[in-house]
Amino acid sequence: MNKIKRFLAGTAALTVVMSAAVSCSKKKSSDTKESESSSHIQPTEPATEDPDKMTITWLGDFDLNPDPGEPRSTALALFEDQYGGKINYIRSTPGENLSILDSMIAAGEEVDIFPYYPEYFPQGVIKDRFEPLDPYFDTLEFDSDLWSGISSVTEAFAYKDQHYVVPYSMSDPLVLTYSRKIMADNGFEDPYKLYTEGKWDWDNFMAMMEKFVSEPAPDWTPKYGIGGSFGKGVIPSAGKTVVSCENGGLVNNIMSPEIQKAQEFMNDISAKNLYRRDIISCYPTNGCTLFLADNGWSLGQSNASNPDKDIMIVPFPKSKENPSYYFSGSYNARMLVKNSRKGEAVATYIKCERLAASDPKCLESAKNQALQEVKTASGIVRSSMTEEQYNALTSFCDPAKFIPEVEFGYGLGDGMNTMGDYTYETRGVMNNLEMKMLEVNPEDFKWEDMRDGCKAVIEKALAEYNK
């Protein structure tokens, strides 16, 4: 424990003067920039005798190294300056990541570290793409206080008693964006206040939407209770994933009452014409949609587009039968590639990611940058965020407050996770579970019909993974 505290104290010299950044780790988006110190951490250990021991090859659709003229990330600065590390980058695209990886593994080419996305796991393990990180837990210092507060998330990813995914942070929670002004004008309690009091549940959420749409807009513009990616967030809010990992094996939960209640809740919303089915990228400006379901990344644009509406966010409501709130968002992690000879170096880099993600100075810098307005060349505000919003958004990523659920269904192949041509017949099971019941009315389509069809597809997929 003291060793980690001394290490973090050493990183303070790095992070206190680092240039501002939105985050300490690159995201999937190419727009995200990173930060580093203007001065290097002085190595506390002698350089390794093997100059290539800490050199790792990264294959992915974004570079862990900085763009020309840009500063390094805090994690990369730690890896290079503290451990003598280096990252070689092989560029790919999201659609090519797996095919290039397979080709390189088959050819015996050097590749060590790979991005984690839900669609890669656990299918990548069955297809011999990844190695477990368990042999390198000492290098990760996983039993130290460095990982306190997030080690439970790693356990949620355990597959066949091994840990292929060791998340170093959580981000981009699915949230509901709303206008406090619109809430007040309609006589509603503030949803965020209800959340802080433990009263934000499906019943309150539904009652607000029903009352909101019951009174027509002055110009008779259609009114809706909810738009956006609602299905993806409401399923885990019921307290059960479609596919879970229990006792080392994958389990089909499609018959569970929790999944059924989530699907029927969505269908009820559709039947009452509360769901807005067109695609919207930020909170609508006409005041005729009560909630927007989306990742927190759209919040800044929603603020800029609605400067007079006092925008706020709240997590997805909990079901009446379940007293807990569940996290639905991104788990940030890297994966060790099959046959890599650099497992220790990869684990060291992942440890640097965790150090950067948990260091108070780094977190404070990220916050300061997030609170800065983003303007166009002509001075028009394009994105902004208040401190209250930022604090709420980050608190929704706290595993002490939100139960981290891992949905294994997204990583079981195309039959489970694909948009096809956006029709019920061609979409994957997970995609239909997120969307179908919001698209139809109960008299047109029954949950039992979809459930029985999904059950057969899930069982077929699980047969391969539970061998």
Instruction: Say if CB 275 and CB 269 are below 8 A apart.
Output: yes
Contacts of 47 (CB under 8 A, 6+ apart): 84
Q: How far apart are the first and last CA of the chain?
A: 40
Q: Is 144 exposed, middle or buried (0-12, 13-18, 19+ CB in 10 A)?
A: middle
- Note the pLDDT tens digit of each residue in 221-273: 999 999 999 999 999 999 999 999 988 889 999 999 999 999 999 999 999 99
Cβ-count burial of 32 within 10 angstroms (0-12 exposed, 13-18 middle, 19+ buried)?
middle
What gap in Å lies between CA 458 and CA 196, rounded to an integer? 37
State which H helix or E strand residue 176 sits in: strand 174-179
List the alpha helices (DSSP H) in 272-342.
299-305
Is a pLDDT exceeding 50 seen at residue 393? yes
pLDDT at 397 over 50: yes
From-to residues of CATH 3.40.190.10 in the chain = 19-170+332-359, 174-328+404-465
**Residue 1's pLDDT band (boundaries 50, 70, 90)?**
very low
CA–CA separation, 239 vs 249, rounded Å? Answer: 19
Number of H helices, E strands in the chain: 17, 18
Contact between 366 and 22 under an 8 Å Cβ cutoff? The reply is yes
CATH class of domain segment(s) 19-170+332-359: alpha beta
pLDDT at 322: 83
8 Å CB contact between 429 and 415? yes
Strand order in the sheet with 311-315: 275-276, 224-228, 289-295, 174-179, 311-315
The pLDDT assigned to 372 comes to: 93
| Reduced 3-state DSSP string for 364-387 | HHHHHHHCCCEECCCCCEEECCCH
**What values do phi and psi take at 73, rounded to 5?**
-70, 160
Structure tokens at 275: 């769901």
In this predicted structure, what is the pLDDT of residue 15? 34
Q: pLDDT at residue 179 above 50?
A: yes
- Percentage, residues of the chain above pLDDT 70: 90
Taking residues 417-433, report their average pLDDT: 90
Question: Looking at 296-427, which runs of residues are DSSP E strands?
Answer: 311-315, 326-327, 330-332, 334-337, 374-375, 381-383, 403-404
Q: Are 254 and 454 in contact (CB under 8 A)?
A: yes
pLDDT at 371: 95
Judge whether residue 329 has pLDDT over 70.
yes
* 178: nearest Cα among 67, 296, 309: 309
Instruction: Inform me whether the pLDDT recorded for 174 exceeds 60.
Output: yes
CA distance 337 to 346: 9
Nearest to 40 by CA among 88, 84, 89, 87: 84
Average pLDDT, integer, range 48-52: 71
CB 386 within 8 A of CB 300: no
Question: What is the pLDDT at residue 308?
Answer: 95
Share of the chain above pLDDT 90, in %: 77
Q: For the segment 2-31, what is each residue's pLDDT rounded down to a tens digit?
A: 444 434 444 433 332 233 333 344 444 334
CATH assignment, 174-328+404-465: 3.40.190.10
**Which of the two residues, 452 and 296, has the higher pLDDT score?**
452
Token readout for 141 is 């210092």
Bridge partners (DSSP) of residue 56 are 87
- Rounded Cα distance, 318 and 324, in Å: 7
Q: What is the pLDDT of residues 32-48, one digit of tens each?
A: 333 343 333 344 555 55
286-301 average pLDDT score: 93
Mean pLDDT, to the nearest integer, of 343-370?
Answer: 94
Provide the token pair at 119: 């669609």
